[in-house]
Structure 1
Amino acid sequence: MADGDMHTRRATPADAVALQSLLAAHRHADEEDEKVDRYRERLGALVMNDAHHIVVAEADGQLLGYAAAQDYGPAPQRDWSIARMHDLWVTPDARGRGAGTALFQAVRDWAEQQTRIRVLEWQSLEVAAEFYRKLGLSGERVDEADPRALYEIEVHLPKRQ
């Protein structure tokens, strides 16, 4: 795969089916996370849900990974909302070649285009923390005693009228 051939686009139901196979084939390469597994099982329905923004990276017709975010909508006491990135995953053989960065940027671009979203947040495992640091992002450790070393990361987006 030439890196220049890679692009991102909104996911389709067919992509969700293909991603399930990819995720299952590479399950041993990633840490288990029951909450993420449950989210991934619902991808087929979520790609059709307007509150969710799910994008895929592909090259030469091959899926390389996906990212998924959700606009939670405004809370009763404010007119702006927080979006949460639920998952960003790239096949092990495509890691380090720009797919993760492109997927993250696609989610960030979506959040910035939504007039009511002011914060994009997510949690990262220690294994992915270096990836986010390379993007210029850092987070706070959620629980020092947690062996999975979760980090809470936020991007504050520009205010819009």
Structure 2
Amino acid sequence: MGDGAISIRQATTADAEALLPLLAAHRHADEEDEKVDRYRERLVALVENPAHHIVVAEQDGELLGYAAAQDYGPAPHRDWSIARMHDLWVSPDARGRGTGTALFEAVREWAEHHTKVRVLEWQSLEVAKAFYAKLGLSGERVDEADPRELYEIEVHLPARE
């Protein structure tokens, strides 16, 4: 790990290649080349899609982690939308130094300043429960029988005029 400051910024299409190993590590993917190529294509498309918000944590030119969220848009019966955080992952070497918190805050800030989003939701594995608890967030167990121990977490953002 470098000595420079950790910065959080919006992902660019140029980051897609560097994000692939992080995505694979997060998903525990040991995929064949064809599937990795599809991830790459999808990542480039999502980075350019205004309904998606993908941010990266970077230090000394190295990507340490990423977070990805999506604005689902308003339902027919309301003028506000729900955003879902699909991923928040930090390289094991970079954990415990505020990287995950900074990535989460970047997603929350995007949702709060994105005029139509009022609820940010996501699912967390048991392994990340303590991380979210440190941020003052707790979730409801999704399914007691599910061995993945998933928790549903929601943050209600200030209502917008």
- What TM-score comes out, normalization by structure 2 length? 0.88
Superposed displacement of residue 23, structure 1: 3.7
The whole-number CA distance in structure 2 between the counterparts of 1:7 and 1:65 is: 11
Structure 2 unaligned regions, length at least 5 = 30-34
Kept in 2: contact 1:8–1:102 (CA 8 A):
yes
SS at match of 2:115: coil
Residue 91 to residue 118, structure 1, CA distance change in 2 (3 Å): same
Question: When the two structures are superposed, what TM-score results if normalisation uses the length of structure 1?
Answer: 0.88
Q: Which residue of 1 aligns with 2:18?
A: 18
Task: Indicate yes or no: 2:154 matched with 1:154.
Answer: yes
Identity of aligned residues (%): 74
Match in the other structure for 1:79: 79
- The CA deviation at 1:21 is 2.6
SS in 2 for 1:5: coil
Instruction: Establish whether residue 50 from structure 1 lines up as the match of residue 50 from structure 2.
Output: yes
5+ residue gaps, structure 1, are none
Supply the AA of the counterpart residue of 2:112.
Answer: E
Show the 5 A alignment for 1:100-139: 100-139=100-139
- Name the Cα RMSD after superposition: 1.9
Bigger mean CA offset, 14-23 vs 119-128 = 14-23
Q: Matched residues in 1 for 2:105 and 2:160: separation? A: 19
What residue identity is the alignment partner of 1:106?
Answer: A
Q: 1:106, 1:156 → 2: CA distance?
A: 16
Supply the distance in 2 between the matched residues of 1:73 and 1:149 (Cα, whole angstroms).
28
State the Cα deviation string for residues 138-158 of structure 1 (Å, max 9, x = none).
000000000100000000000
Distance apart, 1:80 and its partner CA: 0.5
What does the per-residue CA deviation read over 1:91-124, in whole Å, with 9 as the maximum and x for residues that have no partner?
1100111110000000000000011110000000
Please report how far the alpha carbon of residue 31 of structure 1 lies from its aligned counterpart in structure 2 after TM superposition.
Answer: 5.5
Cα distance, 1:70 vs. partner?
A: 0.4
> Secondary structure of the equivalent of 2:96?
coil
